[in-house]
Chains A and B, each alone.
Chain A
Amino acid sequence: MTAGLNIVICIKQVPETTEVEFDKETGRLKREGVAAVINPFDEYAIETGLRLREKHGGVVKAISMGPPMAEQALRDAIAMGCDEGWLVSDRVFGGADTWATSLTLAKSIQLTGPHDIIICGLKTTDGDTGQTGPEMAEHLGEPCISYVSQIGDVKDGKITLKRNLDDGVETLEAPLPLIITVSKDVGQPRLATLRGRLVAKKAVIKTITNKEMGMNPKELGLDGSYTRVTKIFTPEPHAGGEVIEGTPNQLAEVIFQKLKEAKIV
């Protein structure tokens, strides 16, 4: 293999808090004044990419699909240590579901040059789907490994890694190029350095629009999506029971009686 790995990290800009306020009268999401950050799960993807580069050399490109303001997320990724930032942004990309998003991302990654590995976060904190990575794998015709917890060797065009399943940990070997989604177990993301911030400030963010991609707009954004949101609402709070106060012994006794009542003890 040639020197170094071509590493692509997919990131998304999300609201800093998921506690989006919901105006019950108008039924509208209040998003004003909520800061936008890199999806926290994606920071683990960046960390994984940077560690791979430290070990094997190469280039780490961060790519993000979103509105023009998502450029800041790419600068933050560069401040952490990524080499390049690519913004995939066009009005026709708007309103995309995971199918249309993964298709757009797959096409634009191909425009950034060759890649050996694409790394995604486990899911985003706003959409919570975790589907974009595996769907992208189908569009690119590459294998995908989700929930990666540890990266092992990369050699002879192959990678070994561990991934979390519900009932244990699997060790896998896959050929490059491939797509992985990483869990928090891959290692704590580093903080941006001051030097990184300076580099990020001056970095040129490259933009990909549909002009470069040349796709039929019908395949993109809302029009290219197979799913439609038909209703948004706030979840019903769970109805509660009794609240008790008293001495620790009294409390323990009431709880114990409740356990007996529920036939737990």
Chain B
Amino acid sequence: MSKPVNVGDACTGCGVCVTACPFGAITIVGGRAQIGDACRVCGACEPACPMKAITIKKSDDQQGFAEWRGVLVYAEQREGRVHPVAYELLGKGRELASTLGEPVYAVVAGYGLDKAADELVKRGADKVIVYDHPTLATYRDDPYSQLLAEVVRGLKPSIFLIGATSIGRTLGPRVAAKLRTGLTADCTSLDIDPQMKVLLQTRPAYGGNIMATIYTQNSRPQMATVRYKVMTEAKADPTHRGEIIKKTVDPAKLQDRVRVLGFEAAKEQVSIVDADVVVSGGKGLGEPKGFELIQQLATALGGAVGASRPTVDEGWIEYRHQVGLSGRTVRPKLYVACGISGAVQHQAGMKTSDVIISINKDKEAPICRISTLAAVGDLYEVVPRLIEKIKESKAGGKP
């Protein structure tokens, strides 16, 4: 099976491509570049070749997708309330759709969705497909993925975006596999390639140490799950008009193998993802009890408690507090990192916070380089004084 990378007769075996290849897939054999099995068709060699001997066969049938138009956004909801990631996707979706000169669609499934549908129109959807039925009141992979696949087959959107929430990350692959198309997980950036008009899907890999840009070839729609709190929300515009299409739902035709027996809501009032202020603790706390101080500061600031991965791995605090690539991404107004060195993986989960304050003994720690303000000191000495000042100002502010 030949790779789409072709080495032409102009090749002099100079070896420039060998070093250009990120995957070490190219070797010089008999004075000529040979593309090996490790090749991922990343395209790095093509521009690197000084002889222009390397050509990559671009997917030839992108043109065959002319009937696939528009950006479809999945609007996740619980009890009729749309998850804010859907508004972020509508914001990004509008941008992509404008570049392409195509419409924006939303699809929502659940029960009691009139308000949700109206809101999706205000947030920019030109057409909202609604599956509103008591049987859909609780999310289940089987019926939801079946309905989404049905919508895509009818609507034929060129792009289909799903929020990379817990539900989105399990629903997305089910839908993509049903549709026999590609899916890029957990994207943090989306763009349209100006020449090819394809969706460039950029995502972190290797724990955030590298970024990869991916596109969908030979299939449509181009599907991606997109990380929450990365794109900018579409603001509600009451003057925006869109069509709401209510679909009939026949429970007898829905595949439905998994029964939901119960749901226990998380105890925290505010999850770290939604909090305006997140105060996080790391290994610098020295012991699990250190999180009591973190909690006190979080309470004083009306925020939630976050944690670095090592503290979670050590069992100092539950996983749901974990910020970072293998935990949650947060984008609060204020992020306070206490005793966190700030590995790239942690940064991947918090670096888009508006204001970052770190308190750390080591001024060489990576966290200091990305902090709006990095205080070099002992958190056990600084934090209690800070809490005092906050409490004093509150007491002073409300006599």
Contacts and interface: CB of A to CB of B under 8 A. Distances in A.
B172 interface: yes
Interface in B132-146: 141-142
Interface string B378-394: 10011101101110011
A255 B375 contact: yes
A222 interface: yes
B211 A237 contact: no
B185 A265 contact: no
A47 to B, nearest CB: 15
B374 A147 contact: no
Contacts of A130: 169, 173, 185
B interface secondary structure, majority: mixed
Interface in A3-24: 15, 18-20, 22
Contact of A229 (B177, B212, B219, B374): B212
B170 A138 contact: no
B333 A241 contact: no
A173 B385 CA distance: 51
A128 B186 contact: yes
Contacts of A184: 319
Contacts of B29: none
A134 interface: yes
Interface stretch (A26-34, A74-82, A110-118, A193-201): A26-34
Interface string A146-174: 11000000000000100011111111111
B78 interface: yes
B345 A98 contact: no
Contacts of A89: none
B206 A18 contact: yes
A165 B141 CA distance: 13
Contacts of A248: 377-378, 381-382, 385
A256 B1 contact: no
A27 B22 contact: yes
Given A227-B182, A264-B333, A143 B166 contact: no
Contacts of B333: 262, 264
A147 B204 CA distance: 20
Contacts of B386: 252, 255-256
B374 A241 contact: yes
B385 A241 contact: no
A217 B2 CA distance: 11
Contacts of B178: 138
Contacts of B266: 167-169
Nearest to A260: B393
Interface string A229-265: 1111111011111111110110111111011101011
B368 A134 contact: no
Contact of B363 (A94, A143, A166, A245): A245
B271 interface: yes
B217 A227 contact: yes
B21 A28 contact: yes
A139 B173 CA distance: 11
Given A244-B373, A258-B373, A262-B333, A143 B142 contact: yes
B24 A22 contact: no
Interface stretch (B40-48, B67-75, B106-114): B40-48
Contacts of A104: none
Contact of A146 (B166, B201, B347, B374): B166
A125 to B, nearest CB: 6
A246 B376 CA distance: 8
A94 B38 contact: yes
Interface string A204-246: 0000000000000110011101111111111101111111111
29 contacts: A22-B210, A99-B180, A125-B206, A125-B326, A128-B325, A129-B185, A130-B185, A134-B172, A134-B173, A138-B174, A164-B166, A167-B78, A173-B259, A181-B170, A222-B39, A222-B40, A227-B217, A228-B59, A232-B22, A232-B212, A234-B210, A235-B211, A241-B374, A242-B373, A245-B363, A252-B382, A254-B375, A255-B382, A258-B373
Interface of A: 15, 18-20, 22, 25-29, 31, 91-92, 94-95, 97-99, 102, 125-135, 137-139, 143-147, 160, 164-175, 181, 183-185, 217-218, 221-223, 225-235, 237-246, 248-249, 251-256, 258-260, 262, 264-265
Interface of B: 1, 3, 19-24, 37-44, 59, 78, 141-142, 165-167, 169-170, 172-174, 176-178, 180-186, 200-201, 203-219, 257-266, 271, 273, 277, 301, 319-320, 325-326, 333-334, 344-345, 347-348, 351, 354-357, 359, 363, 368-378, 381-383, 385-386, 388-390, 393-394
Q: What 3 pairs between A and B have smallest CB-CB spacing?
A: A226-B182, A18-B207, A138-B177
